[in-house]
Amino acid sequence: MTSRPTFSLEFFPPKDEAGESRLWSALAELQPLQPDYVAVTYGAGGSSRDRTIRITSEITARTSIPTVAHLTCVGATESQLREILVQYRDAGILSILALRGDPSGGPQSEWVSTPGGFDHADQLVSLATSLGFEVAVAAFPDGHPASGGDFQRDIEVLLEKERRGATTATTQFFFEPERYFSLVATLKSRGSALTIYPGILPITNQKQLKRMAELGGTPIPSWIETELNEAGDDASKVREIGIEIASELGSALLSGGAPGLHFYTMNSSVSTSAIVKKIGLR
């Protein structure tokens, strides 16, 4: 008997009470679909650290869903990172997504070291595993923004994180399934046992998509841009297009052997719920 593909969600820490209300509403609507885990991000430059810790802890306390907390090296010493990990552990959070994190100026800005801190995510992986955490890392089917298109360099970085104790990786969102399968095949050819979960972004807003794609270095295929341009300012049409694109991508990934799908929900349930049901993930 084979286990069913995993289904996971990602939220970002809300900035105000109204945003927090939307997050809890979205989570309540998605919980019946039985997600395997929920991840909570950090803001740029670690700006939402305290909210991330609080929201992740509350999800753990208020729901039966396992949680994965993002943790970055930005603006923190090793001692501070250790303290945050202990806070997570005390709150019952046992899984971490370890990231270097983006400089405050964005992913392609120059990295500025924090005295007494880490410069690379692999150092954070070592620290988290030494404290007993299950550690996941990030993967980039379209290439990491800082690697300048050097795919082999990205592979070496992932292999080093695995050597230090990472067991899974979640990808940045992407739109061409062959990029994911190429990444997985290359890692496997190098003897990697990392489980790679593909990340999917349901498109709901064209400006938001372009901003996120620029930040993460994700190319938007011309056929997607054409469809979105034809939809114009019709929000419901854009959402429908986004659901269709993500459904086709998700189906292709699962058919090709992906172990599950990770959804960047943008703190909304409508599109993710529709996609999950449409492709029969739940």
**Spatial distance between the Cα atoms of 142 and 147, rounded to a whole number of angstroms:** 11
Separation of alpha carbons 173 and 170, rounded Å: 9
Compute the distance between CA of residue 4 and CA of residue 7 in angstroms, rounded to an integer: 9
Asked whether residue 254 is domain-assigned, the answer is: yes
166 or 56, which is more confident: 166
Could you tell me the pLDDT band of residue 107, with boundaries at 50, 70 and 90? low
* Average pLDDT estimate for 174-181: 97
pLDDT of residue 191: 97
Q: Tell me if 102 is assigned to some domain.
A: yes
pLDDT given for residue 104 in this prediction: 65
Written as six digits, the tokens of 12 are: 């970002």
β-sheet bridge partners, residue 264: 10
Tell me: pLDDT of 25 over 80: yes
CATH number at residue 212: 3.20.20.220
**CA-to-CA separations, 174 to 135, 141, 217, 221, in angstroms, rounded:** 22, 7, 10, 10
Is residue 2 over pLDDT 60? no
Q: Measured between alpha carbons, how far is 24 from 21 in angstroms, rounded to an integer? A: 5
- Residue percentage of the chain with pLDDT more than 70: 94
- Mean pLDDT (whole number) for 170-198: 98
Closest CA to 198 of 7, 13, 31: 7
Residues near 82 by beta carbon (within 8 Å), at least 6 away in sequence: 127, 131
Residue 1 forms part of a structural domain: no
Q: What positions carry a catalytic annotation?
A: 10
Q: What is the pLDDT of residues 75-95, one digit of tens each?
A: 889 999 999 999 889 888 999
Q: State the DSSP code for 33.
A: G
Does residue 21 sit within a domain? yes
| Position 110 pLDDT exceeds 80 | no
Position 44 confidence tier, pLDDT thresholds 50, 70, 90: low
Q: Shortest CA distance to 85 belongs to which of 113, 123, 114, 44?
A: 123
Q: Is residue 262 situated within a structural domain?
A: yes
Neighbour-count burial of 255, counting CB atoms closer than 10 A to its CB (0-12 exposed, 13-18 middle, 19+ buried):
exposed
Which range marks the domain in which residue 199 is found?
Answer: 6-278
Q: Grade residue 47 by pLDDT with cuts at 50, 70 and 90.
A: low
Look at the chain and report how many structural domains it folds into: 1
The pLDDT of 144-168, averaged and rounded, is 93
Cα–Cα distance, 60 to 54 (Å, whole number)? 10
Provide the 10 A C-beta neighbour count for residue 244: 15
pLDDT at 49: 66
Residues 6+ apart with CB under 8 A from 160: 122
Is residue 132 packed enough to be buried (19+ CB in 10 Å), middle (13-18) or exposed (0-12)?
exposed
pLDDT, residue 228, reads 96
Q: Is residue 200 included in any domain, yes or no?
A: yes
**pLDDT over threshold 90, residue 11:** yes
* Prediction pTM value: 0.93
Q: Whole-number mean pLDDT of the chain?
A: 91
pLDDT of 1 reads: 39
